[in-house]
Amino acid sequence: MKMNKELLFIISLMLFSLNCIAENSVATKCKKLVVDYARSCGDAANVNSLPGLELGECAVMQVNSKSVWNASGLRFDSGSTYLIKAKEDDTWCDASIETNAQGWQLDKQYNSCVCEETIEFSGVNKLFFSMAEYLGLRRYSDANWFELIGVNKNKTEKEETVIGLKNEIVANKTGEFCAYANDMSGFYFNNKGSVNIEITRINHAE
Ligand SMILES: [Ca+2]
């Protein structure tokens, strides 16, 4: 029996829908981490007792720009490598400066979080931030302001890695994974917004 064109069209539409559902399910297969936005990183009773990730397994979490540590409750295992990806469209605000996980630089322009204007650094503002950079007051000196930084920390040791939109972290010790927007200490109060990130374990400890 010959299939008519209408039937073929309906079947192809159904198959297309199935593909869409499959693709969406990929995005949600990662386990969702319950972030403690108040606790310090690595302060869990024993980082070895925290849940970790199997090879190829992923987790998602929200990094809040107001939180100094964003303690994930996820264990990073010594010798393992983790891929961290931030959602490019997610933006957060450092006072009135809107940016994504790549953060901002003094010689560029950004949208304002409070009005329909473009922010350009000049005069007192530029001098203030230039001085802060010169004095090393930015929490991670070699990264952009408000760039996403990944942390692997236990009670005695800490490793920090610049993530931006995407980077790998090689854990040289077992600790808790945390992340933060690269701001000046004491200036987290005027931050707003969150960035969603995905963490995938991409190799085993050697
Ligand atoms: Ca700030």
Residues with CB under 5 A from ligand 1 (ion): 94, 183, 187, 190-191
- CA within 13 Å, CB half, 90: 22
Give the span between the Cα atoms of 32 and 74, in whole angstroms: 10
- CA–centroid distance, 189 to ligand 1, in Å, is 6
The reply to whether 164 falls in a domain is yes
The reply to whether 84 falls in a domain is yes
The reply to whether 49 falls in a domain is yes
Mean pLDDT computed over every residue of the chain: 89
The reply to whether 11 falls in a domain is no
Note the pLDDT of residue 3: 52
Range with the lowest mean pLDDT among 63-67, 77-81, 122-126, 139-143? 122-126
Note the pLDDT of residue 42: 95
Q: What is the pTM of this model?
A: 0.85
Lookup: tokens for 84:
């961290």
Note the pLDDT of residue 72: 97
Note the pLDDT of residue 51: 97
- CA–centroid distance, 153 to ligand 1, in Å, is 23
Give the span between the Cα atoms of 163 and 185, in whole angstroms: 19
Q: How confident is the model at residue 87 (pLDDT cuts 50, 70, 90)?
A: very high
- CA–centroid distance, 60 to ligand 1, in Å, is 24
- CA–centroid distance, 83 to ligand 1, in Å, is 27
Q: What distance, in Å, lies between the first and last C-alpha atoms of the chain?
A: 59
pLDDT digits (tens, 9 = 90+) for 173-198: 999 999 999 999 999 999 999 999 99
Radius of gyration of the chain (CA): 21
Note the pLDDT of residue 45: 74
Read off the CATH number of the domain in which 85 is found.
2.60.120.430
- CA–centroid distance, 119 to ligand 1, in Å, is 15
The reply to whether 22 falls in a domain is no
Q: Based on the structure, what is the number of domains in the chain?
A: 1
Pairing of strands 158-162, 148-153: antiparallel
pLDDT digits (tens, 9 = 90+) for 110-150: 999 989 889 999 889 899 999 999 999 999 999 999 999 99
Q: How confident is the model at residue 1 (pLDDT cuts 50, 70, 90)?
A: very low
Q: How confident is the model at residue 205 (pLDDT cuts 50, 70, 90)?
A: low
DSSP 12: H
Give the span between the Cα atoms of 170 and 166, in whole angstroms: 14
Q: How confident is the model at residue 109 (pLDDT cuts 50, 70, 90)?
A: very high
- CA–centroid distance, 59 to ligand 1, in Å, is 27
The reply to whether 43 falls in a domain is yes
Task: Tell me which residue range forms the domain holding 91.
Answer: 30-203
Stretch 29-37: mean pLDDT:
96
